[in-house]
Amino acid sequence: MPFIPHTEQEIAEMLQAIGVDNINALFEEIPSHLLAGELAGIPEGMTEMEISRLMHARASQHPQSICFLGAGAYEHHIPSAVWEITTRGEYYSAYTPYQAEASQGTLQLTYEYQSMMTAMTGMDVSNASLYDGASALAEAVLMAVRGNRKSKSRKILVPTTVHPAYRKTTHTIVRGQHIELCEVAYDATSGVVSLDAIKQRAEAEGGDVTAVVIQQPNFFGNLESVDEITDWAHEHDILVIAVVNPLTLAILQSPGEWGATGADIACGDGQPLGAPLSAGGPYYGFICCKQELVRQMPGRIVGRTVDLDGKTGFVLTLQAREQHIRRSKATSNICTNQGLVVTASTIHMSILGARGLENAASACHANTVSLVAQLSAVKGVDCAFNSPYFHEAVLKLSKPASEVLAALADRNILGGYDLSMSYPELGSAILVCATEMRTEEEIGAYAKALAEVIA
């Protein structure tokens, strides 16, 4: 059931104008023995009514569980207005704003987004978005290697408290350019990486290190000593890449405030600012940097300028960095980004404002404190670390995590993230999270269910 408007009459007129008898004649340049036969693997087309019935059935196969799962994707409240406006056709069905005069809506919105992200991160410059947080870290690493001219090693220190999926993705993307990701182990008691461990790894690598990555809060939810690591790195001409959850920046120190002079690059996933969980995407990656690195920035950037009459307007700028001009020497191959999700996020940030985000972030923290207190009171459940945390925390369990989580799932509770695959040294451990969406009743229900399951 394709969306094709042509009448028989029009088809005949068009064929006549072209000078052929039938549509197949238009494919005469294709060697005939290569033409495809029937597409046996593709079902018959469906009407909207039929596909609608099918998709409702598929969606209803997913039970509505109470979510205590975070680990990089968080269930937050999104004002109804956000996606109502975002899915207006003028945003939804527009292309990349290459014709600036006909794209002032998207361009101005993107400029406003860049302004909001620089305000949140305390950095000078933001781009118009990357794909997601994990691939944004990869781009940040590539950017640091280009930007740190004092270092020749192409070695990046990456604590294991950085999201495991981010580390994997970064490895996939940067390995072709002979960049080495050097792991730094975390402290078993505190669940954060110590400056000493970072120093030792740097020395083991011969001293020349290009950049260090710090995630704040780290994957375990714990708060890293970002100030002392940043200052040490800068004393040694090492760039600092901050991986941050933008919602937590309503409360936590911005990367621009880390140490004496701030991180050099800040990146992360924008999902907590207005993107629904949506099975993993689309979210968006953000990347911000100090002014001196702006020409190393990947992807699109919008700038404010004037038109022929001197009236304010917006354009894509610094395009000579990008693949369509610079080709094999571009800062990145990125072209399409996550514009529509950025649209949602910009509206989300505008409606909530800094205070609204602060309230949401505080509620996340308070709920998680309550969750941790109630769960760790259960026999067979203990806190893994003794550091301050934000809205996630690690709990050790006396039974295998996979069994416990499966039993909770049967009670429609998504109890957390099983850490045993990525962190076998922790034994049976889970990462839990309670956002502002969780109620005291739900937290209580989780504690009760966990007590039953683990008994």
Partner 1 sequence: MSEIPSELMYTKSHEWVRLESDGTATIGITDHAQELLGDLVFVELPEVGSDLAAGDACCVVESVKAASDVYMPITGEIIEVNDMLVDEPETINDSAFDDGWLFRVQPSSEVEFDDLLDADTYEAEIAD
Partner 2 sequence: MLIFEHSRTGRKGAPQSPKQKASVADIPASFLRKERAALPEVSEMQAVRHFTRLSQKNFSIDTHFYPLGSCTMKYNPRACNKLAMLPGFLSRHPMAPEAQSQGFLACMYELQSMLSNVTGMAAFSLAPMAGAQGEFAGVAMIEAYHRSRGDDARKEILLPNSAHGTNPATATMCGFSVREIPSLENGDVDIEALKKAVGPQTAGFMLTNPSTLGVFERQIETIAKIVHGAGGLLYYDGANLNAILGKIRPGDMGFDVIHSNLHKTFSTPHGGGGPGAGAVGVAERLKPFLPLPVVTKEGENYRWMTEKDLPDTIGSLSAFMGNAGVLLRAYVYMRMLGREGMVRVAEFATLNANYMMAEAKRRGFELAIPDRRASHEFIITLKNEARDLHVSAMDFAKRLLDLGYHAPTTYFPLLVPECLLIEPTETEAKEALDGFMAALEQIREEAKINADLVKGAPYTLPVKRLDDVRAARQLDLAWKASPAE
Residues numbered 310-369 forming contacts with partner 1, rule: CB under 8 A = 319-321, 325-326, 329
Residues in 242-281 at the binding interface with partner 2, rule: CB under 8 A? 249-254, 257, 269, 276-281
Torsion of CA 133, 138, 141, 146, to 10 degrees: -120
How many of the chain's residues bind partner 2 (CB under 8 A)? 198
Rule CB under 8 A: is residue 116 a binding residue for partner 2?
A: yes
Rule CB under 8 A: is residue 102 a binding residue for partner 2?
A: yes
Give the closest residue to 248 by CA, choosing from 134, 159, 365: 365
- Between 202 and 268, whose beta carbon lies closer to partner 2? 268
Contact partner, 61, from partner 2, partner 1, none, Cβ < 5-8 Å per class? partner 2
Give the closest residue to 434 by CA, choosing from 409, 415, 418: 415
Instruction: Out of 21, 89, 196, 379, name the contact with partner 2 by CB under 8 A.
Output: 89
- Between 154 and 348, whose beta carbon lies closer to partner 1? 154
- Between 132 and 322, whose beta carbon lies closer to partner 1? 322
Instruction: Out of 146, 153, 160, 165, name the contact with partner 2 by CB under 8 A.
Output: 165
- Between 42 and 204, whose beta carbon lies closer to partner 2? 42
Burial class (CB in 10 A: 0-12, 13-18, 19+), 4: exposed
- Between 311 and 379, whose beta carbon lies closer to partner 2? 311
Task: Please tell me the distance from the alpha carbon of residue 365 to that of residue 28, in angstroms, as a whole number.
Answer: 65
Q: Minimum distance between the CB of residue 237 and partner 2, rounded to whole angstroms?
A: 25
- How many Å is the Cα radius of gyration of the chain? 25
Rule CB under 8 A: is residue 56 a binding residue for partner 2?
A: yes
Using omega within 30 degrees of 0 as the cis cutoff, is the peptide bond preceding 2 cis? no
Secondary element (H or E) of residue 216:
strand 211-216
Q: Minimum distance between the CB of residue 19 and partner 2, rounded to whole angstroms?
A: 7
Task: Please tell me the distance from the alpha carbon of residue 197 to that of residue 397, in angstroms, as a whole number.
Answer: 28
- Between 19 and 206, whose beta carbon lies closer to partner 2? 19
Measured in Å, how far apart are the chain's first and last C-alpha atoms?
Answer: 56
Residues in 331-360 at the binding interface with partner 2, rule: CB under 8 A? 332-343, 346-347, 349-360
Sign (positive or negative) of CA dihedral 341, 347, 350, 354: negative
Residues in 188-227 at the binding interface with partner 2, rule: CB under 8 A? 223, 227
What single letter denotes the amino acid at residue 265? Answer: I
Q: How many CB atoms lie within 10 A of CB 191?
A: 24
Tell me which residue has tokens 């991986």. 243
Q: Minimum distance between the CB of residue 151 and partner 2, rounded to whole angstroms?
A: 20
Q: Minimum distance between the CB of residue 114 and partner 2, rounded to whole angstroms?
A: 5
